[in-house]
Amino acid sequence: MSQRVLQGVRAVVAVGAEMGRRLWRYAWPAPAGRSNRAYLRDRLIALPLLSVIAFGAFGWAYADVRGDSAYLRDHIAPALVDLAEARVSLQIAQAEAGRALLDEDGAVELSGLSERYRTRMKRATQSLSQVAQHGALTVSEQQKLDVVSGLLVDYSGWINRAQADDDRTLREAELTYAQNMLCDTNPRNDTGSDTAGKDTESGTGGGTGDDTTYPECRRSTGSAATATTIVDRISALERGLRGRLEARAAWGGGVLAALAVAAVAFVLLAVGVARTVVFLRHRFRIRLSLPLLVAALPLAAVPMLAADAVLAYHAQQQVVPSADDLSDRTSPDTEVLAEDQWAGNLSPHAIDALESSVDDELAAGRLSFLDGVAPFVMPVGVVGAAVIGGALHTYRREYLLIARPGAAS
């Protein structure tokens, strides 16, 4: 049995080697022992075809990588920033409402809820509205965002009712209901954050001592379909966007295959053009074929475009941890501290700092003077193929009509 398998393997290898030799002879026929007419005919087929394949495959892969960077920069990253802003702002607003509504001094009846509460609620509403404008959500996710916006209106209504109610018991009940609509409060000693161990507030945001510490929401372990609270629904949208960001940032199988095909085709094209120029010089006494030289010039730009693609891919990989931090490491305490410091020495986990980091990484991940070049890579290959084909067809036709000195078959 093993002998038969060995024989079969040898037969497959022999057949593959013979096919490879025949393909090589067709793609790169040796000038020696071949007529000028046959050699030019083979070049007339092989070189234009290689130009289309090389520039077509590379142009598609390059446009895909560049397109992913643009999509991350213009759609997914801004949407993630706005979702994080909305989620954290709502948590801050809830804590501010709890402090004011449960204050024994009754200041809420005189001055209303704090300015920070109003600012954060406005910011959360605007951020959720902007998420829809970035075009990063699917139809299903857009519907879920609409549900979140509707729940936010109901949440604001419960806070307003609690503010208008003079009965403290009813006020506490309404505030608790609003808290339950927003999220489940996560105790500080379970979060693992850098503020663990501090005094914590109650589930409604009422303080017990440290007014600079804000309650965080318990992370949902369910799926997007089972999310019920506002923060859980926002977190589900963040997870969906992060998944698409990671998928966009990774090399796809199609891109890798296209790059491999393009690399082989570019090598064969460059060698083929060089050998054809040498053939024309020796057989037809053409010192330099200007059409072939013009068609070969775009090959000089390929290494620069490849370097730009590598930069873009590297930047996409760097954005992934920043996107994870936007969803997992941002917190009310960090945002309030950044707000109080007037955006001075921002924590690396502040939303503004992470947004700036993402923007800088994606901006540095490209050669800016190559913006807009990707759509023209494939057409350049097609034009080059036409130039090569036209030049070789002209040389072949002239050879058939006029016997050039020193160009005998």
Q: In the 3-class helix/strand/coil scheme, how is 314-368 assigned residue by residue? A: HHHHHHHHHHHHHHHCCCHHHHHHHHHCCCCCCCCCCHHHHHHHHHHHHHHCCCH
Per-residue confidence at 303, pLDDT binned at 50, 70, 90? very high
Residue 74 and residue 235 in contact, taking contact as beta carbons nearer than 8 Å: no
Closest CA to 249 of 98, 111, 392, 68: 68
- Minimum mean pLDDT range among 90-94, 114-118, 294-298: 114-118
Strand partners, 217: 185
Count the helices and strands in the chain (H runs, E runs).
Answer: 14, 2
Per-residue confidence at 76, pLDDT binned at 50, 70, 90? very high
Tell me which H or E stretch contains 185: strand 185-186
Domain span including residue 56: 34-401
- CA–CA separation, 278 and 290 (whole Å): 13
Whether 10 is covered by a domain: the verdict is no
User: Count of residues for the chain?
Assistant: 409
Whether 224 is covered by a domain: the verdict is yes
Whether 222 is covered by a domain: the verdict is yes
Give the model confidence (pLDDT) of 123-172 as tens digits: 999 999 999 999 999 999 999 999 999 999 999 999 988 888 878 888 88
Whether 21 is covered by a domain: the verdict is no
Q: β-strand 216-217 against 185-186: which pairing, if any?
A: antiparallel
Per-residue confidence at 338, pLDDT binned at 50, 70, 90? confident
pLDDT at 400 over 60: no
User: Could you tell me how far CA 349 lies from the centroid of its own chain?
Assistant: 21
For the record, the structure tokens of 192 come out as 């693992």
- CA–CA separation, 227 and 145 (whole Å): 12
Give the model confidence (pLDDT) of 199-237 as tens digits: 333 333 433 334 457 777 876 666 666 678 999 999 999
Helix (H/G/I), strand (E/B), else coil: 112: coil
- CA–CA separation, 236 and 226 (whole Å): 10
What is the tally of structural domains in the chain?
1
Give the model confidence (pLDDT) of 266-295 as tens digits: 998 998 888 888 888 877 777 878 889 899
In angstroms and rounded to an integer, the radius of gyration of the C-alpha atoms of the chain is: 33
Of residues 9 and 370, more confidence is placed in 370
Whether 24 is covered by a domain: the verdict is no
Of residues 165 and 342, more confidence is placed in 165
Whether 205 is covered by a domain: the verdict is yes
pLDDT at 344: 57
Give the model confidence (pLDDT) of 356-368 as tens digits: 999 999 888 888 8
Whether 29 is covered by a domain: the verdict is no
Whether 4 is covered by a domain: the verdict is no
Per-residue confidence at 105, pLDDT binned at 50, 70, 90? low
pLDDT at 266: 94
Q: What's the pTM? A: 0.80
